[in-house]
Every structure is written in structure tokens, then in C-alpha cells.
């Protein structure tokens, strides 16, 4: 384990951001810890925050495990991350506006045309349309891993509808309820401004036709969706309606919400359903979740959809490798946050290297998410590796590979006491009239000893994430 950067202990000494936490843990005997853990679980249950785990069967309302040991950043560390995240969010949006417009980055030969225009996530239906303020991705979730005191890498971008922000907010809420003392002893930046910031962001991209305080709503696929809790939670916090497709209709070039007082014009939809289900007239004709005619209203400027349909072309894993080029091309800056080195199996040389080094690499599907369909070479059996060898050989375009990153660890409460476990970070960057980032994010932790997969669908847990005030 000596190879991994431990965020609390460096060469046996406690690193500055964790200084006050050592006493806190020492003062907590095992019985109290178990008690607190049970209390936390009861609180989460009562709130109703659960996360369905796809493909594993069992309890769909399983709680995502919460680890009480916070993950801490100094103000200095955070400022650096913040700059890099905002820079990346700007570049991703510039890319989207470009590829649905003149496609300068493709013409300049920086990104192959095939990767953009033949990408399944490229929506011809929105080409030529400029959404309000030219923004496609209003909530950018950027997954970041740390490998050293000053080394951060972006693992992937989420430009469509990144989920998990409710955990960021609830984790903090619960920590403050259970351990008010440590919030007095540490000066921690608040995260509860997120809902206001999200509301401001959405309101700032109302269509030009909207001449009053914009009406906002969250569009959910319904309570069967694994993130339904989050949809209702955010609607509640922002004080906006939570609607399903059947609650909306189009007429006269606008989108209307059925209410008990009659139809109400809707200006901005924060949708938590995929493009394919938004409008059966434009996308999947069999979709019952969306609103027929919504895309015509959107394209003629009657309503804003966040994130914009088509935003997914920017967070595709094959496009990911070009994000540093986007930063240089559109912003004329050097990227502040680096990508993880990535081999594209679509390229013959890369594919050869990948096949020769499968045992050391992490292989991912280009369109996969949630930690499904991936191979972690060093943790896999020979059979698993051979299965992937066949898959990659049959369809190389579908795979990318990355080195097994030495993810940093933070102390985590485990059965035996406290032990280092690997973590990542997903901050939520809001892009509207301003680019905003609340100081914090969702820290996911791989609870299994030695595991590097932090996805909640693969047995990962979550932690409260602190940014210390100066």
C-alpha cells in the first residue's frame, strides 16, 4: 500500500488539512463509532435516500453506504482544482457549440470528423441551433482522481445529467447533525448554496421569448428511476415543480405544465431523462416518458432544455481524450487539469499495446458508464482477461484503456477500525450566466480493501467532502 498517496498521513505525519481530525477519531471509541454509524444509517433511511443497484438483484432500495470519516481539501488545493474544473467546463461547452455549428475544431484537424459526426450521441436534430447563451451543458460533473499531493487527473466528464449531488448535500447535512462539534472546530466552506446556484443557473438560460421571472421544472422519468429521490430532492430545494412527461404539453410554440389552476407556461426544463426519450416525434417513437412536440418548441426558442439535447457528444469516452486539445483550441490556454493517459483501441498501435498489456490496464467501453463492462487488469482472473481480449479484438472501436491509477486513499471507518481506502471526487460545475462551483463535491470511496472501483453500483460508498476556509 506504500505506493498510494494517503491524503491524511504523509511519511507518518498528519497532513495539514486533517490536523484536527486526528484528535476527533482518537476520542471516538469503537462502541460510539458503531452507534454513530447506526444513527447515520437510520437518518439516511428516514430521509429515503437510496440508490438502486443495477444488475445485482437484491434490494432495489439499498442504502448507499456512508462513511463518516470526511475527506478534506485545503483552500489552496481547492482553488487549483476549481480553476481547472471551470476551464474544462468552458472548453466542453465551446466544443458543443462548435460541433453543432461550423465545426471549426474538425476542420482544423484537431478531432477526427468520424468521432464527432458518426458518434451516436451526436444529434443531427439540434445542429445549427444556438441554445440561450450558447450553453449546452449546464451541469458538468467531472470525475477526478488524485495520485499525489499535487497530482490530479480527470477520469471522465459528465455533460448530460450527472447524478449524485443530493449525496453531497445530504452527507453534509447528516455530518453536521451528528458531529456538530467538529464543524465548530474546523472552518468548513458550506455547500448548501448549491440549490440556489442551480436555480440561478437555470433561470439565466431562459429563452429570449421569456419576458418575466422564468418558470422552471425538473422533468423526471418517474419514481422507478434509480435517481428519483434526487429529482424530487432538488425540486424541493429549489422550490420548483417536479414533472413527468404526461404533466406537460406543447401548444402555440410553447411548453405548458398542467396545474390545478390551469396550464402554466414553462420556460426552463431541467430534464433528468435521456435524449432518446425526450420527444417521440423526434427521437424514439415508442417513448412514453417524454413530451410529443417538445423538440420543435425547443428549436424554435419556446423553452430551454438543460442539459441541451446532444450534449452527450462531449462526454463520450472516445472524445474525452481530446478535451485537452479543446482547451487549447477554444481558450488558448494550457489545460490545468490533466487527462489520464488513454489508449484508443480504435488505433491499431494502441490496440496492439492494450492487448499485450491487458493484465496491467483498466479497459472501458467507450459508451459504458457506472463501472459496468470494464476490466481492471491487475484485479482480474485469467478468464476475465481472455474474455476481454476476444471482445476487444472483435470490436476495437468500442474500447479504450488506461493505466491502473494509483488512486489516493483517505482514512475510512471499517470493521477493524480505521483503514485507508481509495477515493475519487465528482464536483458539480454550474454553467449559466456565470460559471459556479460550490466548494465540495461527492467523494466516492471503494469500501473493499484494495479495490479501485468506487462506483456505487459496484459496492462503493460516499463521504462528506470538506474544503477548509482560510
Partner 1 sequence: MILTINHVTTYRYDAPMRAAVQSLRLFPSRFDGQRSIRWDVTVEGGTRGGSFRDGAGDKVEGWSMRGPVAEVSIAVAGQVETIDMAGVLRGHREIVPPFAYLRETVATWIDDAIETLAQEAAAGADDALDRAHRLSAAVAGAIAYAPGVTHAHTTAAEALELGEGVCQDHAHALIACARALDLPARYVSGYLYARDDGEPHEASHAWAEIWVDGIGWIGFDAANGCCPDERYIRLGSGLDAREAAPIKGIAMGAGEEKLDVTVALDAIQQ
- Choose the binding region for partner 1 from 48-56, 71-79, 252-260, 379-387 (rule: CB under 8 A): 252-260
- Complex with partner 1: residue 286 or 394, whichever CB lies closer: 286
Measured in residues, the chain has a length of 470
Number of residues engaging partner 1 in binding (CB under 8 A):
37
Choose, by CB under 8 A, the member of 250, 401, 430, 445 that binds partner 1. 250
Contact between 251 and partner 1 (CB under 8 A)?
A: yes
Q: Are 10 and 420 in contact (CB under 8 A)?
A: no
String of DSSP letters for 42-81: HHHHHHT-----TTS-S-TTPPPPEEEEEEEE-HHHHHHH
Within 10 angstroms of residue 32's Cβ, the number of other Cβ atoms is 10
When asked if residue 127 is in the footprint of partner 1 (CB under 8 A), the reply is yes
Q: Which of 467, 461, 468 is nearest to 41 (CA)?
A: 461
**Cβ closer to partner 1: 85 or 273?**
273
Residues in 65-104 that interact with partner 1 by CB under 8 A:
100-103
Select 61 or 397, whichever has its Cβ closest to partner 1: 397
User: What does the DSSP 8-state code read for residue 305?
Assistant: E
Phi/psi at 281 (5° precision): -75, -25
Q: Identify which range of 112-120, 134-142, 361-369, 371-379 contacts partner 1 by CB under 8 A.
A: 112-120
Cβ-based neighbour number of residue 152 at 10 Å: 19
Cis peptide before 278 (omega within 30 of 0): no
Closer residue to partner 1, CB minimum distance, 173 or 244 = 244
Minimum distance from residue 99 beta carbon to partner 1 (Å): 9
Which residue in the set 18, 95, 129, 270 belongs to the binding site for partner 1 (CB under 8 A)? 129
177 binds partner 1 per the rule CB under 8 A: no
Q: Which of residues 298-327 bind partner 1 (CB under 8 A)?
A: 299-302
- Pick the closer one to partner 1 by CB: 38 or 127: 127
Burial letters 237-268, b for 16+ CB under 10 A, else e: bbebbbbbbebbbbeeebbbbeeeeeeebbbb
Alpha helices in 143-186 (DSSP H): 165-178, 180-185
Q: Which of 72, 282, 319, 453 binds partner 1 (CB under 8 A)?
A: 282
Among 39, 244, 247, 296, binds partner 1 (CB under 8 A): 296
The 3-state DSSP class for residue 20 equals: helix
Smallest separation, CB 145 to partner 1 (Å): 33
Residue 8 grid coordinates: 491524511
- Interface ranges with partner 1 (CB under 8 A): 100-103, 106, 113-114, 116-118, 120, 122, 124-129, 249-254, 280-282, 285, 292-293, 295-297, 299-302
Amino acid at each position: 500500500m506504500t505506493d498510494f498517496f494517503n491524503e491524511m498521513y504523509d511519511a507518518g505525519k498528519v497532513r495539514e488539512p486533517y490536523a484536527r481530525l486526528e484528535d476527533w477519531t482518537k476520542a471516538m471509541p469503537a462502541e460510539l463509532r458503531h452507534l454513530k454509524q447506526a444513527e447515520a444509517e437510520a437518518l439516511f433511511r428516514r430521509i429515503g435516500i437510496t440508490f438502486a443497484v443495477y444488475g445485482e438483484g437484491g434490494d432495489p432500495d439499498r442504502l448507499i453506504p456512508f462513511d463518516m470519516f470526511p475527506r478534506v481539501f485545503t483552500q489552496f488545493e481547492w482553488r487549483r482544482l476549481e480553476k481547472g474544473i471551470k476551464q474544462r467546463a468552458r472548453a466542453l461547452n465551446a466544443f458543443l457549440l462548435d460541433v453543432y455549428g461550423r465545426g471549426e475544431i474538425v476542420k482544423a484537424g484537431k478531432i477526427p470528423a468520424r468521432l464527432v459526426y458518426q458518434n451516436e450521441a451526436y444529434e443531427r436534430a439540434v445542429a445549427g441551433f444556438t441554445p440561450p447563451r450558447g450553453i449546452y451543458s449546464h451541469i458538468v460533473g467531472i470525475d477526478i482522481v488524485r495520485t499525489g499531493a499535487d497530482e490530479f487527473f480527470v477520469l471522465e466528464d459528465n455533460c448530460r445529467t450527472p447524478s449524485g449531488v443530493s449525496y453531497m448535500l445530504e452527507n453534509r447535512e447528516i455530518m453536521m447533525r451528528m458531529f456538530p462539534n467538529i464543524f465548530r472546530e474546523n472552518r468548513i466552506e458550506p455547500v448548501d448554496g448549491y440549490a440556489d446556484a442551480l436555480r440561478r443557473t437555470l433561470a439565466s438560460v431562459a429563452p429570449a421569448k421569456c419576458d418575466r421571472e422564468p418558470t422552471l421544472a425538473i422533468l423526471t422519468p418517474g419514481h422507478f428511476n434509480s435517481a428519483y429521490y434526487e429529482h424530487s430532492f432538488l425540486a424541493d430545494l429549489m422550490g420548483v415543480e417536479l414533472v413527468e412527461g404526461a404533466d406537460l404539453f406543447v401548444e402555440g410554440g410553447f411548453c405548458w405544465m398542467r396545474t390545478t389552476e390551469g396550464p402554466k407556461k414553462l420556460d426552463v426544463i431541467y430534464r433528468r431523462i435521456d435524449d432518446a426519450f425526450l420527444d417521440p416525434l423526434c427521437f424514439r417513437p415508442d417513448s412514453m416518458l417524454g413530451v410529443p412536440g417538445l423538440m420543435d418548441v425547443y428549436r424554435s426558442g419556446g423553452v430551454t432544455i438543460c442539459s441541451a439535447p446532444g450534449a452527450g457528444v462531449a462526454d463520450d469516452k472516445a472524445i474525452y481524450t481530446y478535451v485537452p486539445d479543446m482547451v487549447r483550441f477554444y481558450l488558448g490556454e494550457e489545460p490545468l487539469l490533466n487527462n489520464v493517459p488513454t489508449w484508443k483501441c480504435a488505433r491499431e498501435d494502441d490496440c496492439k499495446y492494450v492487448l499485450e498489456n491487458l493484465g496491467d490496464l483498466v479497459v472501458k467501453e467507450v459508451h459504458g458508464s457506472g463501472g459496468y463492462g470494464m476490466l481492471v487488469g491487475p484485479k482480474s482472473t485469467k478468464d476475465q482477461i481472455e474474455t476481454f481480449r476476444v471482445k476487444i479484438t472483435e470490436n476495437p472501436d468500442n474500447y479504450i484503456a488506461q493505466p491502473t491509477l494509483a488512486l489516493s486513499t483517505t482514512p475510512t471507518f471499517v470493521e477493524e477500525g480505521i483503514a485507508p481506502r481509495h477515493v475519487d471526487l465528482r464536483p458539480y460545475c454550474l454553467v449559466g450566466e456565470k460559471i459556479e462551483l460550490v466548494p465540495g463535491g461527492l467523494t466516492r470511496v471503494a469500501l473493499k480493501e484494495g479495490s479501485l472501483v468506487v462506483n456505487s453500483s459496484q459496492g462503493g460508498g460516499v463521504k462528506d467532502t470538506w474544503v477548509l476556509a482560510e
